[in-house]
Chains A and B, each alone.
Chain A
């Protein structure tokens, strides 16, 4: 189980980010760069926005660089995109979110300078950031990664990415287990999971696709979703969240990482993605689509639900 994953190139990647960020800021190509800097704990990182070439030396990239920085370009920090072209460090999974945001008119490609990461994986959120990366402590999303080398970036450090060892997807296994249950058993499982929710909305705040000015769950005229952390409102919220992400979520798994109650949120997202793949042969995050599968009708669409 303890087969170490080769991430020896992350040092070179970090150096390349520092050089490239300094260059593009120095040349005035961008007004800011969204990237990672070292955190307080050994090996840990935190997101950072730098606006001058001098700050570039603070930047880093390690196996703890798990955050999806795309969220900083949306509602959370929505003043950033208005200030000019922005540089951003992206892993393959993060790029998928940006691609989705472009398709939904939230970003334009010309506004961005993409620094792509040849990524061998990041640590699971439960692991100390200084630990060496192994198949055992790899983030679950990385086990099924299909975008180690982000495509179409403006700059990617030239590195021969070590070939990944194929790993079994823990999500697929868990989905298969749940699909094997009866509806009543499955409902019992999710009821238990949703009961844990404290309605902190961390999952919403970290999600790049939750970019609404006002979430419908915060509306009170009429009130669509009960705001208190009680079973009915919790279930409604999680269903709304999963449904709103269907056909959009590409699996950065940030929701699951930040959930203080350890609700397996990405499991719902992966199940929706699986449905979309089976029903419409659609996978989110690979192309800037004008229309997604749920906003268009095609004659070959499955219509077996019409009885």
Chain B
């Protein structure tokens, strides 16, 4: 026979204002199986918890029901208290009479009756609670970081500095990401390369970091603490161990006119190349699509001139399996290509702005490369069409961003600031030039951000025009920009030499495919979703996977670095234990009744359901049944709802308990 204790909380006045707590306590005390019922002003406070612990011991209670707030708020608090008093924590349940009752009702009489019902249901359910042992799983203290931009680099360095091994995987031939492409950075205008490249070198030299560049994630298996990740290391055609990075191969390569992606295709590179001189690793890669040797079988100059004999045309992709305990996803962003409507995408292009048709209409990243000292023009801002210096330059903000009718409703967050920076860089380099900016609002929340933006107007003479551009067209060698100035209410027409579009920040191409491999969720734009927008901003809902940087949503560099360090701290917390404890609210399969249809496996969002073979003593296969891996199960209960013969039970939410609750009503 159970001896249940019911503890009713006033929650200050939050509950007692609408619910007659004394009447609820009297009702509870009369329920069969209830040995003790009381109420108190703040049950979660120290005296409240002491009262509960004392009652458990003195009244020899077997189960506890705390009628108070939502279990999301204080279930853990009371389970700890119950455990401290010597009971299994999972014999304690919360009856939510605040969010589900007092907060949503006005009539005291009806609210009290409802509170009695809620308590009655929870008493019946708690009677059927089982003692649940805490689940522990081992943890592999190695981490995988996906993406070698500033987010991935920061996370990898922080984790590695704490003494744990890191595997860093980057899709491009070099780490560095978008930050390596930038010229100078807001709000201090320090050179991006100067602050970025030392970190890249740190990664390459760190004894705890294994770096795979030109590599992609092929397959992710396992669960928190125990992931097995298969990395596809694409054939570089150059042996990384023997290559000294002397660069002779690149100077001798006859294919010299290949547009370089790193330079936004305005600079040229060779077929065997490093994307930029400061690349890490400084090992070239052969672009097999453009290499004469791979196209016709005829060249091979690079191999002939290579002193250490590192060039290997026969190299194949290799698959490497890495065991890791945590994963940081830092795949970053891409700029929205506005020249055409991306195939199969709901996002519409901006044909009216001539990007891709008029050569001197460029995007913000291209401007960065023009302004960068290491860029294709050596830092001279010139027109891609004829190499002349633009004397009138127009910047247009919110291209793609905040345009619901074009398919993207969010703000890309960094464009206001980088456009202000562009006007400054331009003014510093073209003293007699004039910059105009078309903008909707200037969004400058951030330390020293608004001051920076004001400076572009007040000291660097940028002319800001509030309004959007309706049309652009080429007229002779000028670009006519037609727009409206809504502050004055007039139509504006500017004959510009160059137009820079602040295009929207989007997740990387294929972000959705990677999310599917990882089993993490993503929003309609393919940005990865955090577990809680406010309280768990760096964790994924999938345990053991963390987010850093713009793959989660548009972010600037300081925010990205903060989040990367936060993700690293989460990984270190995970690695601070030998075994991971997990709440034992997990699904269990009643194997005797399981018919092996695997509907549960099909609906499981966490990959927690496995196929288990049942054999007789001779080893003959009798049946194949479903089996839940408690280390992976998140306790969502979808399998329980799906099982046609009700052979999956979620501990703490068994069918018996649910039916008992219904029958108590």
Contact = CB atoms under 8 A, between A and B. Distances in A.
Interface of A: 75, 104-106, 211-216, 219, 221-224, 244, 290-291, 295-296, 299
A85 B329 CA distance: 48
13 contacts: A106-B595, A106-B597, A212-B593, A212-B595, A213-B594, A214-B593, A216-B644, A219-B646, A222-B656, A224-B655, A224-B659, A295-B642, A296-B602
Given A290-B602, A296-B602, A212 B596 contact: no
Nearest to B654: A222
Contacts of A106: 595-597
Contacts of A295: 599, 602-603, 642
B660 A105 contact: no
B645 interface: yes
By secondary structure, the A interface counts as loop
Contacts of B656: 221-222
Contacts of B592: 213
A63 B606 CA distance: 50
A213 B656 CA distance: 19
Nearest to B128: A222
A215 B645 CA distance: 6
Nearest to B659: A222
Question: By CB atoms of chain B within 10 A, which of A75, A222, A296 has the most?
Answer: A222
Contact of A212 (B598, B624, B644, B659): B644
Contacts of B647: 213-214
Contacts of B646: 216, 219, 224
B655 A105 contact: no
A223 B592 CA distance: 18
B597 A105 contact: yes
Given A213-B593, A222-B655, A222-B659, A104 B645 contact: no
Contact of B602 (A216, A221, A244, A291): A291
Contacts of B524: 299
A223 B660 CA distance: 11
B593 A104 contact: no
Interface residues of B, number: 21
B645 A212 contact: yes
B607 to A, nearest CB: 14
Interface string B637-665: 00000101111000000011001100000
If over half of B's interface residues share one DSSP class (helix, strand or loop), that class is named, otherwise mixed; here it is loop
Interface string B326-342: 00000000000000000
Interface in B559-595: 592-595
B433 to A, nearest CB: 47
Interface in B582-638: 592-599, 602-603, 624
A184 to B, nearest CB: 26
Nearest to A104: B597
Interface of B: 524, 592-599, 602-603, 624, 642, 644-647, 655-656, 659-660
Given A212-B593, A213-B595, A244-B644, 6 more contacts: A75-B595, A104-B597, A105-B624, A106-B596, A222-B660, A224-B659
Contact of B645 (A105, A213, A296): A213
B658 to A, nearest CB: 8
B602 A211 contact: no
Nearest to B599: A295
Contacts of A244: 644
Given A216-B644, A221-B656, A222-B660, A105 B596 contact: yes
A104 B598 contact: yes
Nearest to A218: B645
A207 to B, nearest CB: 12
Contact of B599 (A75, A104, A213): A104
Contacts of A212: 593, 595, 644-645
Contacts of B597: 104-106, 211
A218 to B, nearest CB: 9
A19 to B, nearest CB: 34
Contacts of A224: 646, 655, 659
Of all A-B residue pairs in the complex, the 7 with the closest CB atoms, nearest first, are A212-B645, A222-B659, A295-B602, A104-B597, A216-B646, A214-B593, A222-B656
Nearest to A212: B645
Given A222-B656, A222-B659, A105 B598 contact: yes
A104 B592 CA distance: 18
Nearest to B623: A213
Nearest to A240: B644
B289 to A, nearest CB: 34
A258 B524 CA distance: 49
Contacts of A299: 524
A274 B592 CA distance: 35
Nearest to A296: B602
Nearest to B657: A222
Contacts of A104: 597-599
